[in-house]
Structure 1
Amino acid sequence: MAMTPLGGSGDDDAPIMDINTTPLIDVMLVLLVMLIITIPIQLHAVDLRLPVSKTVATAPPPVPVTLRIGADDTLSWNGEPLADRADLQRRMAALAAQPTGVPLRIESDGRASYGALASVMVAADQAGLRRLGVASVPVGP
C-alpha cells in the first residue's frame, strides 16, 4: 500500500522536512508592534492662518452699451439710430477710451444679415473693444 498507518512500521528516524513558521510569525508581530509604537500620531486637523479680508466698497459694474442691428441692417446705439458707419466707429472709439471698461452688447435681429453683424464686430475690434457680448433677439410676429 502507498500509505503507512500512524502506528505502522514507517521510518521514525527520518527528519521532518516542514518549516517551523512560529518563530517567523513571532518576529513579524514584534516588528509590527514596534513600527506602530514608533510612528508618530498623525493629526488630521490643519491649522491655517488665512488673511482677513477687508471689504472695500466697490462700484457697481458698468451698464453695458447696447448696439442693436435691426431686420433691415439698421443700427441703433442705446435706442438712438446711427446715421452712418463713421458715427458707429466714432462711438466705439470713445467707448474703448473709457477707463472703466464698459462692455458693448450687440443685439442682432434674427432676420438681419450676417454681413451687418460681421462688419460691426470688425469695427469693434478695430476700435480696440475687448469686452463684447453678442445676443440674438427673437424674431417678432
Structure 2
Amino acid sequence: MAMTPLGGSGDDDAPIMDINTTPLIDVMLVLLVMLIITIPIQLHAVDLRLPVSKTPATQTPPVPIQLRIEADDTMRWNGEPLADRAELQRRMLDAAAQVPVLPLRIEADGRASYGALAGVMVAADQAGLKQLGVSSTPVGP
C-alpha cells in the first residue's frame, strides 16, 4: 500500500495516512508552560560598592566671585570697582590661591565689548581659575 499526496490521483476511498500533530503540539505547549512555571525566578542582582563622599552633606557650596563688566568696559569685583587690569590679575591670583578655589561668575552687560570679556576669560585661565560661569544681560531698546 503506497501513500499518495492529498489531492493526488489515488483512490478516493483510501484512508489518509498522515499523522495528526495537533495533540502533539498541545502536549508540548502544556509541558512548556509547566516548565516556565516551575523554574525559579532568577534575580540578576549586581553588588555595587559605590564610593562614599568624604565631604559632609551639610556643607554649603562656595559662594562664587561676582565679576561684572559694565557697558563702558569697567569692572566690578563683588561690587567693588577695579582700578585697572593689574588689580584684576592680582585678585584672580589671590582667588586661585585659596582652598577651595572659588568659582568665578562673569556677568557682562550686553553693550560691553567682546574684547573686555575675552580678556577677563584669558586672565582667569592664566591665574588658574578653571570654574567659570558667563552670563550676559540683553541690550534694551
User: What is the TM-score when the length of structure 2 is the normalising length?
Assistant: 0.70
| Alignment pair present for 1:19 and 2:19 | yes
Partner of 2:128: 128
Structure 2 residue matching 1:93: 3-state secondary structure: helix
> Which has more radius of gyration?
1
Which segments of 5 or more consecutive residues in structure 2 lack a partner in the other structure?
Answer: 1-10
Task: Measure, in 2, the Cα distance between the counterparts of 1:96 and 1:64.
Answer: 12
Partner of 1:6: none
1:101 Cα shift?
2.2
Structure 2 vs 1, CA of residues 29 and 96 (structure 1 numbering), >3 Å: closer, same or farther?
closer
1:60-79, Cα deviation, whole Å (9 max, x unpaired):
22221111111111112112
1:1-141 correspondence runs (5 A)? 12=13, 14-21=14-21, 24-25=24-25, 27-29=27-29, 31-32=31-32, 35-36=35-36, 38-40=38-40, 42=41, 56=56, 58-139=58-139
Residue 56 and residue 78 in structure 1: after superposition, are their counterparts in 2 closer, same or farther (change >3 A)? Answer: closer
CA distance in 2, matches of 1:33, 1:58: 54
Q: Deviations over 1:82-135 (max 9, x none)?
A: 111111111001101111221111111111100000000000000010111111
Structure 1 stretches lacking a partner, 5+ long: 1-9
2-side partners of 1:73 and 1:37: how far apart?
Answer: 76
Q: CA deviation at 1:32?
A: 2.9
CA distance in 2: counterparts of 1:31 and 1:107, whole angstroms: 72
> Using the alignment, how far apart are the partners of 1:95 and 1:131 within structure 2?
12
| Cα shift at 1:140 | 6.1
What is the percent sequence identity of the aligned residues? 75
Q: TM-score, normalised by structure 1?
A: 0.70
Aligned length: 127
Distance 1:33 1:132 in 2: 62
Hey, what's the Cα distance between the residues in 2 that align with 1:59 and 1:34?
57
1: CA distance, partners of 2:76 / 2:84:
10
